Chains A and B, each alone.
Chain A
Amino acid sequence: MSYRILRTARALPALLLGFAWIAAPAWASLGGDVGSVGADNVQFKGQLVSTPMLQYDRHDITTDSGTVHEYLSHAGKVFAVTWQGPRPPDLRQLFGSYFEPFQSATAAQSRPGMHRQVSVAQPDFVVHAVALLRTFQGKAYVPSLVPAGVAVADLK
């Protein structure tokens, strides 16, 4: 196990970064405005690519741990987010004010087993997520914010 010595130098910067993030402000994304998309990108240390579409703008945040898509309506609200990657994204950051309802809803579900999938379907907040070996993906949206004519099923 001599290779372990190589890791010494890595631990300290990581520790400092760990503290730095605790002080960072939380920005809502789902339900938030375009500023919240940028804030997510900063928090996720990602690369942001924005694509104007007919019915909405799609913002793609790419990080080492996967890809997040945020869908911004022309009314200026993030009405849906999706994610896919080797780790789930920071859902508190991504869900914003919807994170606590997500926690409450999942905590109320009794589901012994390996917790490979979860669905939360509330009148104005829907989440579907899958967690498999080294593969995570999900979609969350706010039905009341979805622009008319947009099929949530088509959002990748």
Chain B
Amino acid sequence: MLRCLRWTTLLAVAVLTACGGGGSTLSSGGGSTSSSSSSSGGNNFSAGGPNVVSMTVGPGPTAGSSTFNSPYVSVTVCIAGTSTCKIITDVLVDTGSVGLRLFASVISGLALPNQVDTTGNGNVIAECLPFADGYTWGPVASADVTVGGEKASAVPVNVIDDTSSFVAVPSSCTSGNGTSLNSVDNFGANGVLGVGILQQDCGPYCAQAAVQQTNTQGATYYTCGNNTCAIYQELIGSQVTNPVALFPTDNNGVILQLPAIPATGASTATGYLVFGIDTESNNALGSATVLTIDPSSGTIITLFNGQTLMGVLDSGSNGLFFADSAIPNCTGSTNAEEFFCPTSTLMLSATNQGENGNSVLTPFQIANENSLNGSFFALDDVGGSTATITGLSDQFFDFGVPFFYGRTVFTGIEGTTAGSAAGPYYAY
């Protein structure tokens, strides 16, 4: 509905499609500098394989929703050690988060056992996950997770309680974070497959003693009895975990490959999610430039418009989000102002740089979002204002799905290596 309001016109925008291969040269700093808008590195995944999964940017689970640029795969979840399973379609592939999250309503009938605390009382571990405008809430469960031909056993996953069948949300969760996002519609997905650069979703912060997780600030992990929940010290090995890291093989990262699409967009786009980097004959890192990531912030350096920003390659965002006050925002519907509406398509570029000194010149385009076809689910050249917090020392450039079209993007998980590349890193 909102899409119809947002995109009232239907104009073709004539622009050049980003294209061309990437040449590499060595810079004086010893780092490799590439100029690339499409360095597929020759990876051809059409032959398939146990580590290759079809990934589609399409309508998702909710008919008529305003979803676009959401890449989905199917995931099979099973009660650990059994053949009692359910196939979950339209699970959003997210390089910007870690761990598998599924809505309770879509796994109904599959009684995944919840993780319990150490009291022996059967208290259940739950997760309050903060987002920019709200939170999700629900138990941590254990499941065998299969994606394509890869299976991880007894994975801590998060079941988001959209059926209100779990213990009520504690006030320190609701108070800290705003609005409940516990619905399929809020995500445009039946779940989220967080395949990002870390092993666990929270890490050392949540593994602190509960009293150190300042209680009025809320916490991520709770232990819940019948009616009440308390902040919990969730040790790292029990936290919601990147399923890829728990695969027996091909567990050092993922590759996302989406096809180039016309500047005017495409109804849908289908590419690949591939597990492992340099672990099989089909997933070589090749000539992709490795940009190592600051593990404390989870970001690379993005140089744009004279600014030094924190960059993320984020398949969970549907546009290229950055601050540029020179580009007008859209108007005319509820959240139109989040997107850019320049009078003509802008050809811009940023330089992404790793901690290792390697850098890649990264061209991109920003079209007038109102002029794009509102019935298309795959839209290149869509961007918008990041939540501009001018003056804060760290500002972000969020390279969402438009960045991924026409590229082969590698994300290496912390604590793993692929050849000489040590995670966490991005490469493309």
Residue ranges of A at the interface with B (Cβ–Cβ < 8 Å) = 1, 3-8, 10-11, 13-15, 17-19, 21-22, 24, 43-46, 63-66, 82, 84, 86-93, 99, 102-103, 106-119, 121, 128-139, 152-156
Contacts and interface: CB of A to CB of B under 8 A. Distances in A.
B179 A103 contact: yes
Contacts of A22: 171
Interface stretch (B34-42, B116-124, B243-251, B257-265): B116-124
Interface of B: 2, 60, 62, 65-67, 70, 92, 94, 96-98, 117-119, 123, 130-134, 170-172, 174-179, 181, 185-189, 192, 196-198, 201-203, 205, 208-220, 223, 228-233, 235, 237-238, 297-299, 312, 314, 316-318, 321, 334-335, 337-338, 385-394, 396, 398
A98 B273 CA distance: 42
26 contacts: A4-B238, A10-B233, A11-B118, A11-B230, A19-B228, A45-B216, A63-B214, A64-B205, A64-B208, A90-B176, A90-B217, A102-B178, A106-B133, A111-B335, A112-B66, A112-B185, A112-B187, A114-B94, A115-B134, A116-B131, A119-B385, A130-B389, A133-B96, A134-B203, A134-B298, A135-B394
B215 A18 contact: yes
Contacts of A24: 216
B contact face: mostly helix, strand, loop, or mixed: loop
A105 B270 CA distance: 35
B1 to A, nearest CB: 8
A114 B235 contact: no
A113 B318 contact: yes
B390 A109 contact: no
Contacts of A86: 205
Given A110-B334, A134-B203, A115 B131 contact: yes
5 nearest interchain CB pairs? A112-B188, A14-B210, A114-B316, A128-B387, A115-B131
A19 B174 CA distance: 15
Contacts of A116: 96, 131-132, 314, 316-317, 321, 398
B96 A14 contact: no
A82 B392 contact: yes
Contacts of B192: 114
A22 B201 CA distance: 27
A155 B392 CA distance: 7
Nearest to A90: B176
A133 B2 CA distance: 28
Nearest to A114: B316
